[in-house]
Amino acid sequence: MKKAIAISVCVLLGAAAGYFIAPFTSFGIIQFTEPDMSGAFLLSLVENQIGCTCANQPPSESAAEVSKSIGILEGWRAQNQGSRVLGQEIGLGDVRLSLLETQLGHSAQASQDMTSGQKELAALGWKDVSSAHLTALVTQLNSEYSPPTRKNAAPTATH
C-alpha cells in the first residue's frame, strides 16, 4: 500500500514539474534549432505591441513604448545587419514615433523622427518616402489595431 502511494506521489510530482518546465525547455530548443522562427515570433510580438500601444494608450505613454520597441529592434538588427524586415519595422516605428511626437507638440523631435524613418525606408529601396505617404501608411496600419466602432461592430442578436 505504501509503495503504491509513493509511486502515485512521484508520478504526480513528475507530471507537475513537466507541466511547468516543458514550455520553457521547448522555447529554448526552438530558439536554438530554429532561430529564424523564434526571431519571427519575437518580431511579431514587438510589432503588435507598437500597433496596440498606439491604439490603446495616451500619446506620451505610447511614445515611450514605441521608442523602447525601436530600441529592441535596433538591438536585433545589430545582430543581423542584413535584415530588411528589421529595417522596415524600425523605419515605420520612427514614423509612428513622429506622429506621436506631433500629437504631443514636439515638432522638432517629430521632424527628426520622420527624417530618420524616411532615411531608413529609402535605404531599403522604397520609392515614395514622403511624409504624407508614410503618415497615411502608418495611419492605415494603426487602424488595424483600433477597436471596432459602432458601425463596424458585429451585429448583435435581439429578441
pLDDT surpasses 80 at 103? yes
pLDDT attached to residue 159: 45
Residue 15 forms part of a structural domain:
no
Q: Report the pLDDT value the prediction gives residue 59, as an integer from 0 to 100.
A: 81
The pTM of the whole model exceeds 0.85? no
d(CA 47, CA 25): 25
Q: How many domains does the chain have?
A: 1
- What is the Cα–Cα distance from 22 to 137, expressed in whole angstroms? 41
pLDDT at 113: 94
pLDDT tens figures, 68-82 = 888 888 888 888 788
Is the pLDDT score of 124 beyond 70? Answer: yes
Q: Is residue 23 part of a domain?
A: no
Q: Tell me whether residue 103 is in a domain.
A: yes
Q: Which of 17-21, 71-75, 124-128, 147-151 has the lowest mean pLDDT?
A: 147-151
Q: Does residue 49 lie in a domain region?
A: yes
Residue 70 in domain? yes
Q: Is the pLDDT of residue 114 over 80?
A: yes
Judge whether 159 lies within some domain: no
Range of 93's domain? 34-143
The reported pLDDT for the residue numbered 142 is 76
